[in-house]
Amino acid sequence: MKNKLNINRTILFLLFCSLPTAFLQAQQQARRPNVLFIASDDLNDWVGALNGHPQVLTPNIDRLAKRGTLFTNAHTQAPLCNPSRVSIMTGLRPSTTGIYGLAPRHRQVERTQDVVTLPQYFAAHGYRSMSAGKVFHGGISPEEREVEFQEWGPDGGHKPFPEEKIVKTPLDMVEHPLIDWGVFPEHEDSLMDDYKVASWAVDKLEELGEGDDEKPFFMAVGFNKPHVPLYATQQWFDLYPEEEVFLPLAPEGDRNDIPDFAWYLHWYLPEPRLSWVIESHQWRAKVRAYLATISFMDAQVGRVLDALEAQGLDDNTIVVFWSDHGYHLGEKGITGKNTLWERSTRVPLIFAGPGVTAGARSSQPAELLDMYPTLVALAGLPEKDEVEGLSLMPQLKNADAVRERPAITTHNPGNHTVRTEHWRYIRYADGSEELYDHRQDKEEWSNLADHTEYADIKKELINWLPEKDAPLAPGSKHRVLENKEGSWYWEGEAIDFNKLIR
C-alpha cells in the first residue's frame, strides 16, 4: 500500500512538472500588476504637489502623489510633443533617433521603424494593451494602429471649437487657430474631447473589473489639456477670478546675460511673446485659462482613478502620471515651450501602486525615458537592454537613493541641457553656454557660465553631454533648427537676427 502511495505521488509530481508552459505563463500573468499610464500635454510643474503655482487646484493628481512616489526633479528629453513622446515610447533619446521636430513619426525613420515600443513590449509578454487620447503624437496612422496597441479608444483632441476665436487680436508671429483661450463651451464638460477619453477609460475599467480575463492590462490614457486652445467650461474658470490670478515672475532684462543663440530655439512660433500678451492685455487671461484647463484635466484624471478604485483594481495596478514637457507663461519673455530652461523641461512624474513607496518625494534627477525600464521592472518583465533610460526602482524603494546620472534634455542637434540635483548646464549648438545654481537661483536668473570659479562644475557637467548628435531624420519639419554651410535655418528659412521678435 505504501509503495502504491509513493507511486501515485510520483505520477502526480510528474504530471505537475509536465503542465503546459502556456498554463504556467497564464498563472504568472495573472499575478503581474496592471499598468495605468496617464499622460497630460504641455503641463509644467503647476501641480499642487509640486508647488509650481500658489493657486493651482489639482486635488486628484495630488492624491495620486500621496499614494505613491513623486519625482520633484523630473525632466523631459525634448521640449516638444513629438520628439518627447517618441523618446518615452521607444526608450531612446532624440540625439539617438534624429527625431527633433513635429515630424517625422517614429515608424517613418529607419533607426526606429522596427523598434519595440513600450506597449508592444508589454503585449509581447502577455499584456492586453489599449490606448485612448494623445499618447503618441496626434494623428495616429492606420499602420500604427495595427502595431502599437491592440485596442484603441477615441483619439481625443482639441474639440469643440467656437465659431470664431475668442482672442481676436492678431498674433505677433504666426497666426494659428489653436492659439486661443477663454470659456468654451459654457457649461457642458461632456462635450470636451478629454472628457470623452476619460469616459472611455471609465467604461473600459468597469469592463475589466467585471470580466474574467486573466491577462493583466496596459492601459494608456492621454489627455490633451492644458495644450492650447486653452478652453474649459465656466466652472473651471470660476476657480480662478481673473483679478486675483498670480502672474509668473518675469523680470525685465532677464535675458541680458543669456546667449543670443537661445532665441534660435524658439525663433518664429505660433505661441506669442510676453511683450504681445502684455500689449494685448492678455497675460492674466492666458494664465487664468492655463490654470482652468489644468483643473479640468485634473478632474478627468480623478474620474479614471475613481473607476480604478471602484472596480477594486487599484491594489494590483501600477499608476504612472506624466506630462510630455513644460510650458512658459511669460518667464524668459515668452509663452509656450521649445526651450532648455526649467520651465520648459520640468514635468510632473508620479508612480503609485505595488512595489512603490507611498507618500515619498524624490529630488533626484529623473528622465521621462526612465519610465520604460521602470515599468518593465515593476511588472517583473525581462530587462530590455536597448533602452537608454535608467530604472527608477532604487528611488521607488527609497526616495533618498542617489542617482549618479543627471537628466538631459535636447532640442534640435547640438542643443542640450544637463540637470543634476543642484545645477543646470546648457550648451547650444554654437558653443554658447548657461549655468545655474538651483540652490540659490531656482528661477534661473543669474547665468554663471562665464564665472571662472565654476569652471570645474562646468567641466563635470559637460562630461554628460551626448557624445553624438544624430542629424535631423529625413522628413524632419516643424520647429526644426538646422545649420547649412555655416548659416542657421529655422524651418527651412534662413535666420536673420535683425528680424527677431522679442
pLDDT in tens, 352-375: 999 999 999 999 999 999 999 999
70 — pLDDT class (breaks 50, 70, 90): very high
Give the pLDDT of residue 18. 44
8 is a domain residue:
no
Give the pLDDT of residue 211. 83
Angle at the Cα of 330 from the Cα atoms of 324 and 332, rounded to 5 degrees: 90
Expressed as residue numbers, the domain containing 401 is 31-499
202 is a domain residue:
yes
Assign residue 237 the CATH number of its domain.
3.40.720.10
Per-residue pLDDT for 1 more than 60? no
- pTM, two decimals, is 0.93
139 — pLDDT class (breaks 50, 70, 90): confident
Residues 81, 158, 227, 411: which is the catalytic one?
A: 81
Q: What average pLDDT does this structure show over 28-48?
A: 90
320 is a domain residue:
yes
State the cell numbers at 201.
477609460
Give the pLDDT of residue 14. 38
31 — pLDDT class (breaks 50, 70, 90): confident
Active site residue 176: no
Question: 334 vs 45, 247, 255, 275, CA distance in Å?
Answer: 17, 13, 11, 8
Give the pLDDT of residue 407. 98
Strands lying side by side in the sheet with 493-494: 481-484, 487-490, 493-494
Question: 28 or 158: which carries more pLDDT confidence?
Answer: 158
Q: What average pLDDT does this structure show over 47-64?
A: 98
Question: 59 or 17: which carries more pLDDT confidence?
Answer: 59
14 is a domain residue:
no
Per-residue pLDDT for 26 more than 80? no
13 — pLDDT class (breaks 50, 70, 90): very low
132 is a domain residue:
yes
What's the half-sphere exposure (Cβ side, CA atoms, 13 Å) at 37?
A: 29
Burial string for 86-98 (b: 16+ CB within 10 Å, else e) reads: bbbbbbbbbbbbb
Active site residue 81: yes
Determine what percent of the chain is predicted with pLDDT higher than 90.
Answer: 92
Local structure of 274: helix, strand or coil: helix
Q: State the burial class of residue 458 (Cβ atoms within 10 Å of its Cβ: 0-12, 13-18, 19+).
A: buried
Give the pLDDT of residue 494. 97
Give the total number of structural domains in the chain: 1
Tell me the pLDDT tens digit for each residue of 429-438. Answer: 999 999 999 9
30 — pLDDT class (breaks 50, 70, 90): low
Per-residue pLDDT for 15 more than 70? no
Tell me the pLDDT tens digit for each residue of 279-329. Answer: 999 999 999 999 999 999 999 999 999 999 999 999 999 999 999 999 999
43 is a domain residue:
yes
Q: What average pLDDT does this structure show over 100-121?
A: 97
3 is a domain residue:
no
Tell me the pLDDT tens digit for each residue of 461-498. Answer: 999 999 999 999 999 999 999 999 999 999 999 999 99
9 is a domain residue:
no
Residues 53, 106, 125, 137: which is the catalytic one?
A: 137
Per-residue pLDDT for 20 more than 50? no
Say if CB 25 and CB 208 are below 8 A apart: no
